[in-house]
């Protein structure tokens, strides 16, 4: 068995691998770049080795440095995590040569599956159903059009060396094929240094369903059922679940058998994933195989009860798989939410900053429901521009899908993160989306449900009542608390009243009367005299001042509302709604009406940098006339190029930045006249 394991990765996956190694009594070695000196994975490991500057190309991607670190610390094995060197056959070969165990498949399997054309051919030979298409390299646009005509429209043009959704084009006609062929080819060339492209049928409204496989060095391969990952944004997975709400036992067994056949064809000897797309009629087609541990592996761990990292470590050290296909059973339902440092309101632009607050929800098992958090960050840490914006994964596991979704909704409500923007509000709204809850989904789900991007919900209806009641009850307790100091006489209330006027960000006031000395409290909303309907809400909680989350019940239903003190009130977050709530006495509310309204400064004449990043290029010059929609500037952050476009017609009067500049958020890039 492996004695000392080096983890050639960072973030949540490095921490996750270390956790299992520790449980198995294996010593651990972390590697870290300068930017990660204080990162969680460095503290978790028994030893840590610095491997160079922040840029991955100079640290986490440099094979020699990582192999040297393993030699220096006496590590006998390396786990690559995902990304970085995980699917690099040369790395696996170099380790073999150095006498170090690679915790992953053999280099031949990595090579064979790394190329989309080659892997499709292999799949076809292994009798795996592939997307109908042409299994060869296409040289000219004319040839592309002829092939597309034969396949039938729509078609998808793909880069053979592709990954991360790059180099893909959809074409609905021969004109679009000619155009898409050229642009796919040039994107493939610039992204992967390889311009080979191929064409396949574009499956409409498909689901993305993948099969987890597990093999050993003795020719045994089994599958661990499926994960559905249809909730994607720009081909990036957002939610994953196991099992899929769409598959029946027969389709699952058929997909599993094909995945195993493909894995056997390349002597697969580790954990891996065979991705399929599945159409409305449950026809399934092989997409590609990922020869590594997948981001979303925890949902499979829950429903199968297996630790995939443990399985990988065992087979890597030469052990036989301890279980047979018939031993694998799927129990319950697991959902994973990827938590990204990105601003859902600003078109999901990456966001960076200090983790001023990072308070996860209650983890572990309660009432048959388990909540798990895989993270690589902690309060006080930093989200830098250098790496992936995915900072954590929240997973819930319950007997049924709907219970797992409800548990996820509550866990997201109770997850307090501050200091940068993140997608928890978006995820919290998703958990209440009826279509997602019904399981009627496809890879177009987010595009169809949020055609204009994500608009944060405003407090309305029941949510508005809950927030008004919670904020008024907090103010009520605060009033009582301020009046009482131990062993002092109770002071006269300065302006004590049971009735409050609550303003929820839009200027309108809600009348709330709170009764009781401590929770449970009764809040009565609205006023009969003014013709408003009167609603009564029972609140119960053990919340006390300073706690970031108000957890308790509203009319018996469990709720978690995030609470942050602000002037004259509290900032509340609940089910994706984020709102500053001001709480006034009736008298204050009367005076409020007389206050002047502060005007916001007019910033429409400035182009501000939407996130900290590096200016890649400027598309305009001083004095130039631009129209709305025209590209002004490209800023790179977190491995993504973000194109900033003009929102107005106008003339550029002054430029404040130049290519190569590192800008902070809201730095002025240029001004209009
Ligand atoms: P999946 O595992 O389902 O294919 P993705 O493709 O979205 O999920 O995630 C894998 C990708 O994550 C890698 O290809 C890489 O771009 C990125 N990545 C690599 N290393 C890390 C890391 N340490 N932390 C977070 N993301 C990483
Ligand atoms: P990558 O290597 O970038 O992950 P994939 O081939 O796995 O590329 O495809 C990524 C995503 O693109 C899939 O999850 C699916 O949503 C979509 N996709 C790929 N091929 C097709 C196709 N032929 N028809 C419809 N959608 C497709
Ligand atoms: Mg893929």
Pairing mode, strands 27-32 and 47-50 = parallel
Cis peptide before 154 (omega within 30 of 0): yes
Nearest to residue 581, comparing CAs of 563, 601, 600? 563
How far is it, in rounded angstroms, from Cα 609 to Cα 604? 13
CA of 83 to the centre of ligand 1 (A): 5
The rounded Å distance from CA 61 to ligand 2 centre is 26
Residue 113 counted as domain residue: no
Same domain, 465 and 584: yes
586 shares its domain with 469:
yes
pLDDT, tens digit, 9 for 90 and up, residues 40-59: 999 999 999 999 999 999 99
| β-bridge mates for residue 574, sequence order | 577
- Asked if pLDDT for residue 671 goes beyond 80, the answer is yes
Q: Which of 170, 201, 232 is the last residue of a domain?
A: 201
| 3 state DSSP class of 15 | helix
660 touches 615 (CB < 8 A): yes
Residue 661 lies in a domain: yes
- Beta bridge partners of residue 180, listed in sequence order: none
Question: Which of 209-223, 468-482, 498-512 holds the top average pLDDT?
Answer: 209-223
Strand partners, 397: 334, 370
- Say what percent of the chain tops pLDDT 90: 82
Do 585 and 474 lie in a common domain? yes
Statement to judge: residues 475 and 571 lie in one domain: yes
* 8-state DSSP, 578: E
Domain of 350: which CATH number? 3.30.470.20
Asked if residue 180 and residue 223 are part of one domain, the reply reads: no
Please check whether residue 56 is in contact with residue 348, taking contact to mean a CB–CB distance below 8 angstroms. Answer: no
pLDDT, residue 350, reads 86
The three-state secondary structure class of 455 is coil
My answer on whether 268 and 355 are in the same domain is no
Are residues 467 and 584 part of one domain?
A: yes
Is 524 within 8 Å of 530 (Cβ atoms)? no
**Count of C-beta atoms within a 10 Å radius of residue 1:** 13
Query: 130 has which bridge partners?
Result: 286
pLDDT confidence of residue 482 = 77
Ligand 2 atom closest to 287 (CA): 6
**The pLDDT of residue 492:** 59
Task: Answer yes or no: is the C-beta of 301 below 6 A from any ligand 2 atom.
Answer: no
Give the per-residue pLDDT at 600: 83
Q: What are the tens digits of pLDDT across the range 396-432?
A: 999 999 999 999 999 999 999 999 999 999 999 999 9
When divided into structural domains, the chain yields a total of 6
3-state SS, residue 587: helix
DSSP state of 71: H
Domain shared by 662 and 573, yes or no? no
5 contacts 313 by C-beta, under 8 angstroms: yes
**Residue 404 belongs to a domain:** yes
Q: Which run of H or of E encompasses 655?
A: strand 650-655
> Does residue 436 form part of some domain?
yes
Q: In this predicted model, what pLDDT tens digit does every residue of 556-583 receive, in sequence order? A: 999 999 999 999 999 999 999 999 999 9
| Cα-based distances in Å from 391 to 11, 352, 376, 448 | 7, 11, 6, 26
Both 195 and 243 in one domain: the answer is no
* Nearest-angstrom CA–CA distance, 634 and 618: 6
- Closest Cα to atom 15 of ligand 1: 83
The closest ligand to the CA of 87 turns out to be 1
Whole-number Å distance, alpha carbon 661 to ligand 1 midpoint, is: 27
**Domain-embedded: residue 189:** yes
CA distances, 109 to each of 225, 271, 627 (Å): 21, 12, 51
Q: Which residues are catalytic?
A: 288
What would the pLDDT profile of 139-182 be if each residue is shown by its tens digit?
A: 999 999 999 999 999 999 999 988 877 889 999 999 999 999 99
Residue 164, ligand 2, Cβ within 6 A: yes
pLDDT at 637: 79
Whether residue 243 has a cis bond before it, omega within 30° of 0: yes
- Would residue 108 count as lying in a domain? no
Domain annotation covers residue 250? yes
Question: Distance (Å, rounded) from C-alpha 546 to C-alpha 543?
Answer: 9
Q: How confident is the model at residue 202 (pLDDT cuts 50, 70, 90)?
A: very high
Q: Do 36 and 158 sit in the same domain of this protein?
A: no
Q: For residues 288 and 267, state if they share a domain.
A: yes
Q: Is residue 353 part of a domain?
A: yes
Residues 583 and 610 in one domain: no
Q: List the domain range (segments joined by +) for residue 615.
A: 606-672
């Amino acid at each position: 068995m492996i004695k000392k394991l080096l983890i050639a990765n960072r973030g949540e996956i490095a921490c996750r691998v270390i956790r299992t190694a520790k449980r198995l009594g294996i010593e651990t070695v972390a590697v870290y770049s300068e930017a990660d000196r204080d990162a969680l994975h460095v503290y978790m490991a028994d030893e840590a080795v610095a491997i160079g500057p922040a840029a991955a190309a100079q640290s986490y991607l440099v094979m020699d440095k990582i192999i040297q670190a393993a030699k220096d610390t006496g590590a006998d094995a390396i786990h690559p995590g995902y990304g970085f060197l995980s699917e690099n056959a040369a790395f696996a070969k170099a380790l073999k040569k150095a006498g170090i165990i690679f915790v992953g498949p053999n280099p031949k399997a990595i090579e064979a599956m790394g190329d989309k054309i080659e892997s499709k051919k292999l799949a076809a030979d292994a009798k795996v159903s592939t997307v109908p298409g042409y299994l060869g390299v296409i040289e000219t646009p004319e040839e592309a059009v002829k092939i597309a005509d034969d396949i039938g429209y729509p078609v998808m043009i793909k880069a053979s060396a592709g990954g991360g959704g790059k180099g893909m084009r959809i074409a609905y006609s021969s004109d679009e094929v000619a155009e898409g062929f050229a642009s796919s080819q040039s994107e493939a060339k610039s992204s992967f240094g390889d311009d080979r492209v191929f064409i396949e049928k574009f499956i409409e409204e498909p689901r993305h369903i993948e099969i987890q496989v597990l093999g050993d060095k003795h020719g045994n391969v089994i599958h661990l059922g499926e994960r559905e990952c249809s909730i994607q944004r720009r081909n990036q997975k957002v939610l994953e679940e196991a099992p899929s709400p769409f598959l029946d036992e027969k389709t699952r067994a058929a997909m599993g058998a094909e995945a195993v056949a493909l894995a056997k064809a390349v002597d697969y000897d580790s954990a891996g994933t065979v991705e399929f797309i599945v159409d409305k009629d449950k026809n399934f087609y092989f997409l590609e195989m990922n020869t590594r541990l997948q981001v979303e592996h925890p949902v499979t761990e829950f429903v199968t009860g297996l630790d995939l990292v443990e399985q990988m470590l065992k087979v890597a050290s030469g052990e036989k798989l301890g279980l047979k296909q018939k031993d694998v059973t799927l129990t319950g339902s697991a959902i994973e939410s990827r938590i990204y440092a990105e601003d859902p309101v600003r078109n999901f632009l990456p966001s960076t900053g200090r983790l001023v607050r990072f308070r996860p929800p209650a983890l572990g098992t309660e009432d048959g429901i388990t909540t798990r958090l895989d993270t690589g960050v902690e309060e006080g840490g930093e989200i830098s521009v250098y790496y992936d914006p995915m900072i954590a994964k929240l997973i819930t596991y319950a007997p049924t899908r709907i219970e797992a979704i409800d548990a996820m909704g509550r866990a997201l409500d109770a997850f307090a993160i501050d200091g940068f923007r993140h997608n928890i509000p978006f995820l919290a709204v998703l958990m209440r989306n009826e279509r997602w809850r019904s399981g009627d989904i496809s890879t177009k789900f987010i595009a169809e449900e949020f055609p204009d991007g994500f608009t944060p919900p405003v407090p309305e209806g029941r949510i508005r009542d809950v927030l008004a009641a919670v904020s008024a009850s907090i103010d009520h307790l605060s009033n009582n608390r301020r009046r009482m100091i131990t062993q002092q006489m109770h002071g006269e209330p300065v302006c004590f009243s049971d009735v409050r006027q609550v303003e929820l960000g839009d200027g309108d006031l809600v009348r709330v009367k709170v009764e009781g000395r401590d929770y449970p409290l009764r809040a009565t909303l609205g006023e009969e005299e003014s013709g408003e309907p009167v609603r009564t809400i029972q609140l119960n909680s053990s919340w006390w001042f300073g706690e970031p989350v108000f957890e308790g019940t509203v009319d018996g239903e469990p709720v978690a509302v995030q609470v942050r003190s602000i002037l004259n009130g509290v900032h509340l977050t609940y089910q994706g709604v984020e709102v500053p709530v001001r709480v006034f006495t009736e008298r204050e509310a009367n005076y409020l009406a007389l206050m002047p309204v502060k005007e916001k400064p007019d910033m429409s004449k400035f182009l501000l940098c939407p996130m900290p990043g590096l200016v890649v290029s400027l598309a305009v010059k001083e004095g130039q006339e631009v129209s709305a929609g025209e590209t002004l500037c490209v800023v790179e952050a977190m491995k993504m190029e973000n194109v900033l476009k003009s929102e107005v017609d106008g003339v550029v009067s002054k430029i404040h930045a130049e290519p190569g500049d590192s800008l902070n958020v809201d730095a002025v890039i240029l001004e209009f006249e």
